[in-house]
């Protein structure tokens, strides 16, 4: 099963992402962390000109938690 979620890059968002990842892992769901360029969230990443191919490449590079 694959589940996608996003969080802002600020400290609270990062903490929330890691907490959610831990809960998902506890349910035997594999979690990968996709890192976007500094200062960008998923929306601003695409507004800044990123393509679906760019995001797919980031998915391939994602860190498994």
Handedness of CA 43, 60, 17, 4 (dihedral sign): positive
pLDDT tens for the chain, 65 residues long, are 666 666 666 778 778 888 888 888 888 888 887 888 888 888 899 999 999 999 889 988 887 76
pTM: 0.62
Residue 51's CB: how many other CB atoms inside 10 A? 9
Helices (H) and strands (E) in the chain, counts: 3, 2
Interatomic CA distance for residues 19 and 14, integer angstroms: 9
Nearest-5° angle of CA 38, CA 1, CA 56? 35
């Amino acid at each position: 099963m694959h589940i996608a979620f996003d969080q802002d890059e600020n400290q609270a968002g990062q903490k929330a992402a890691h907490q959610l990842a831990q809960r998902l892992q506890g349910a035997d769901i594999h979690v990968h962390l996709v890192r976007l360029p500094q200062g960008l969230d998923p929306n601003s990443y695409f507004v800044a000109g990123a393509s679906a191919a760019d995001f797919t490449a980031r998915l391939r590079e994602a860190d498994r938690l």
